[in-house]
């Protein structure tokens, strides 16, 4: 009997070991899966913080800042979206996966809709439907946050092993509370504010007025040009806007002599960050006279900042 019992005990021990090993392997798989969600949640939480800090500043930010933040958020959501595209490796994690997938899908829709509708509000001031679109985007972001809260509750069940570190909370909804319609209206007004640079606008600027011979600053802190009978002025014009500028006109005025001199020249279209230098014909000058030269863009077309369309320099010409 004893000789029969020993092999049986060994067989049972082997079966138990296999079962324990399998259970341990499944637990490790669960922890690895949850830890991946934890890492993605950390990145998404940073994205939510970035949105939350940016949206109250819509009245003062530029289009580049807005799109940079929203593109970064979209990239983090895309990583999570790819992850939830496949079912989890073990059935015990299906409830977690299902909640995470729904949350990520809601976030993806919300980020895309909010980003597009804010820019639409800035680009199309007469569009009355954009507030509804912003409200839809906000609703999706809030839904995603709520679904992720349910996921965190699901992970806390005893049947689910703890991840290596706790899963942080994620909030992509950009406000602490308030009704969606009211918040959407606030964002529409902010996107259309004249104090920001969100809309598609050119931004021609007089960047520099130059002279040949070159002027310099004297020890008395005055701008002077070496003795000459004529000066060739040139003006650097830059498009600091976010869309191609229309052709324009640049004027150059020199006052200080007996008769003010004023000439104009065309300015070609410039791409965003494009620059051109316009050189004028020589102008006669005389020594020891205080002159002022002014380069100014003329026109009433769209411009992101009309205050930078003019630049002046006061100078004198040294005696021979």
Residue predicted with more confidence, 159 or 122: 122
| Strands of 223-225's sheet in order across | 216-217, 223-225, 310-317, 291-298, 248-255, 261-267
Which CATH code is given to the segment(s) 204-317?
2.60.40.10
Q: What is the mean pLDDT of residues 141-146?
A: 98
Instruction: Return the pLDDT at 25.
Output: 79
Instruction: Return the pLDDT at 17.
Output: 38
**CB-CB contact of 239 with 203 (8 Å):** yes
Instruction: Return the pLDDT at 3.
Output: 54
Whether residue 57 has pLDDT greater than 90: yes
Average pLDDT across the chain, whole number: 89
Alpha-carbon distance of 115 to 54, in angstroms, equals 12
Whether residue 56 has pLDDT greater than 60: yes
Listed residue (208, 307, 209, 207) closest to 254, CA to CA: 209
Q: How far is CA 265 from CA 66, 93, 128, 295, in A?
A: 36, 70, 41, 11
Lookup: tokens for 198: 């969100």
Location of structure tokens 């942080």? 168
Q: What is the mean pLDDT of residues 61-84?
A: 95
Whether residue 257 has pLDDT greater than 90: no
Q: What is the mean pLDDT of residues 200-217?
A: 93
Q: Which residues pair with 235 in a beta bridge?
A: 209, 278
Distance of alpha carbon 304 from its chain centroid, rounded? Answer: 17
Whether residue 11 has pLDDT greater than 50: no
Q: How confident is the model at residue 159 (pLDDT cuts 50, 70, 90)?
A: confident
Q: What is the mean pLDDT of residues 293-319?
A: 89
Instruction: Return the pLDDT at 10.
Output: 46
Alpha-carbon distance of 207 to 55, in angstroms, equals 31
Q: What is the mean pLDDT of residues 1-15?
A: 47
Q: For the chain, what is the HEC assignment?
A: CHHHHHHHHHHHHHHHHHHHHHHHHHHHHHHHHHHHHHHHHHHHHHHHHHHHHHHHHCCCCEHHHHHHHHHHHHHHHHHHHHHCCCCCCCHHHHHHHHHHHHHHHHHHHHHHHHHHHHHHHHHCCCCCCHHHHHHHHHHHHHHHHHHHHHHHHHHCCCCCCCCCCCCCCCCCCCCCCCCHHHHHHHHHHHHCCCCCECCCCCCEEEEEEEEECCCEECCCCCEEECCCCEEEEEEEEEECCCCCCCCEEEEEEEECCCCCEEEEEEECCCCCCCEEEEECCCEECCCCCCEEEEEEEECCCCCCCHHHCEEEEEEEECCC
Domain boundary assignment for the chain: 2-191, 204-317
For 120, left (φ over 0), alpha (ψ -120 to 50), or beta? alpha
Instruction: Return the pLDDT at 49.
Output: 97
Q: Per mean pLDDT, which range of 62-76, 77-91, 300-314 is the poorest?
A: 300-314
Peptide bond into 213 cis (omega under 30): yes
Q: How confident is the model at residue 12 (pLDDT cuts 50, 70, 90)?
A: very low
Instruction: Return the pLDDT at 9.
Output: 43
Percentage of the chain lying above the pLDDT 90 cut: 72
Q: How confident is the model at residue 300 (pLDDT cuts 50, 70, 90)?
A: confident
Whether residue 141 has pLDDT greater than 90: yes
Instruction: Return the pLDDT at 66.
Output: 95
């Amino acid at each position: 009997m004893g000789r029969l019992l020993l092999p049986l005990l060994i067989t049972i021990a082997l079966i138990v070991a296999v079962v324990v090993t399998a259970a341990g392997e499944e637990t490790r798989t669960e922890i690895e899966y949850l830890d991946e969600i934890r890492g993605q949640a950390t990145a998404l939480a940073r994205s939510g913080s970035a949105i939350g800090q940016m949206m109250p500043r819509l009245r003062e930010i530029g289009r580049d800042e807005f799109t940079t933040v929203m593109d970064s958020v979209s990239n983090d959501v895309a990583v999570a979206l790819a992850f939830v595209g496949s079912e989890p490796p073990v059935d015990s994690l299906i409830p977690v996966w299902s909640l995470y997938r729904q949350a990520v899908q809601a976030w993806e829709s919300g980020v895309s809709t909010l980003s597009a509708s804010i820019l639409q509000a800035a680009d199309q001031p007469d569009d009355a439907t954009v507030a509804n679109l912003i409200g839809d985007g906000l609703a999706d972001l809030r839904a995603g946050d709520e679904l992720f809260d349910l996921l965190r509750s699901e992970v806390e069940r005893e049947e689910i092993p703890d991840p290596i570190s706790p899963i942080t909370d994620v909030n992509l909804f950009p406000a602490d509370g308030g009704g969606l319609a009211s918040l959407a209206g606030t964002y529409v007004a902010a996107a259309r504010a004249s104090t920001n640079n969100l809309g598609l606008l050119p931004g021609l600027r007089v960047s520099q007025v130059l002279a040949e011979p070159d002027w310099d600053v004297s020890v008395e802190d005055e701008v002077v040009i070496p003795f000459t009978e004529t000066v060739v002025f040139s003006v650097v014009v830059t498009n600091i806007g976010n869309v191609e500028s229309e052709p324009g006109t640049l004027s150059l005025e020199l006052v200080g002599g007996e008769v003010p001199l004023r000439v104009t020249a065309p300015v070609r279209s410039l791409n965003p960050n494009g620059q051109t230098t316009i050189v004028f014909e020589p102008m006669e000058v005389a020594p020891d006279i205080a002159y002022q030269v002014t380069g100014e863009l003329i026109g009433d077309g769209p411009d992101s900042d009309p205050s930078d369309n003019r630049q002046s320099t006061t100078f004198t010409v040294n005696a021979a």
